[in-house]
Structure 1
Amino acid sequence: MADKTLSERLQPSLLDRLTDVAPREKKESRDARVIDMTRLREIIQRDLSWLLNTNNLESSFDAEQFPHVARSVLNYGMREVSGEFSTADRAEMIRRSIERAIRQHEPRIIDGTVEVTISPDEASSNMTVALNIRADMWAQPLPLELFLRSTVDVTTGEVSVERSL
């Protein structure tokens, strides 16, 4: 197998480096220490899924009184979405919450590139909101585009994040 070029090698996130997937092995292989662009997309998709399935504390404190808390890891995740029917106003609130969560808590996404749009999906019901997420991921030598499709179940609060074609 040919060596990967510098532009194809990326270092995994700290969490991925600390996770021991082969505890019986004394040394990590070189391939385990670097990732390629495809693996980077998978990792960011996984991490965004974790982010969007975490409820933040937004309803528990006054964000205007405590602006630093609103932007800190104490407020990691997105606003609670479960327990209500989907309406156009509710869908817009969910869209803004997702966009804000990604902007604040995903440093591998380039500032100002996150676009979350409501998807007019026929399969959506009044219990789900379908969204499209587009952003540029940091990578060398050029940023990578990320396209994801997200479905929010407003009855359970569960958010699914899938790669979009």
Structure 2
Amino acid sequence: MSPPPLPDRFEAPLMLVFSEPHRRREERRQARQSLLAPPEKARGRSAPVRAATRKSIEDDFKERVKTLSRSIDLASACDLSAYPRVAASILNYGRPDVTGMIAGTGRLGDLAAALRKALERHEPGIVDGSLTIGPAEEAPHRHGFDAVSQSLRFEISLDLAFAPLPIPLTFHAEIDVAAGKLQIDVAGPS
């Protein structure tokens, strides 16, 4: 007996409901600025709805994770141990600076734990206990490290909490050891 098909419509979070009209407005603005864009058809406005497709939810999560990967947290620049409320607030948004971790050989193992902490702290939609981070075992990345490109690659799996069912996602975080840069590649559903 085959498993029942997964639903295509989910209850979207409020952030997605409010960000979608802004995204569409930005697309229209860019189209107007382009000389090659066809004239825009007049259409009525409708109220935002809370129903969303799996793809729109995944795309929204992908954008949030990419924004997180481009931001370095305040704790990487200064010691926040005397300021625990600042360390737990949005002022400390972002991922840790990987340059300091890569420079010290003993701290390289802390990289997966630091990525885990950043995702758990800034992505409240992750189902508790579903986040797993491990080295990628693809062909060029033996135990997560590619000797040719000098990069580390982690495979990250998680479930996003949505109604009616959680959405499983798998993506990769690749760290360029030489430059100390982190790139997130959202691969798709698990």
Find out whether 1:160 has 2:160 as its counterpart. no
Distance 1:27 1:115, change over 3 A: farther
Across the aligned residues of Structure 1 and Structure 2, the Cα RMSD in angstroms comes to 3.1
Closer, same or farther in 2 for the Cα pair 1:27/1:152, shift >3 Å? Answer: farther
Unaligned runs of 5+ in 1: 1-5
Indicate which of 137, 145, 164 corresponds to 1:141: 164
Displacement of 1:130: 0.5
AA at the equivalent of 1:161? D
TM-score (norm 1): 0.77
Distance, in Å, in 2 between the alignment partners of 1:28 and 1:86 is 53
Which structure exhibits the higher relative contact order, with contacts defined as CA atoms closer than 8 Å and separated by 6 or more residues?
Answer: 1
In structure 2, the partner of 1:51 is 68
AA paired with 1:8?
R
Unaligned runs of 5+ in 2: 1-6, 30-39, 141-145
Contact 2:18 2:48 in 1 (8 A): no
- Identify the match of residue 15 of structure 1 among 7, 12, 19: 19
Mapped partners of 1:137, 1:56: distance in 2: 23
Residue type of the alignment partner of 1:22: R
Identify the residue that residue 3 of structure 1 maps to in structure 2. none
Cα drift, residue 9 of structure 1? 4.1
Rg larger for: 2
Identity %: 20
Distance 2:105 2:121 in 1: 24
Q: Which runs of 4+ in 1 moved over 6 A?
A: 29-33
Q: Is 2:84 aligned against 1:78?
A: no
My pick for the range that moved more, 88-97 or 66-75, is: 88-97
- Describe the superposition over 1:112-131 as per-residue Cα deviations: whole angstroms up to 9, x where unpaired: 32211122445213731110
If the length of structure 2 is used for normalisation, what is the TM-score? 0.68
Distance in 2 (alpha carbons) for counterparts of 1:61 and 1:9: 41
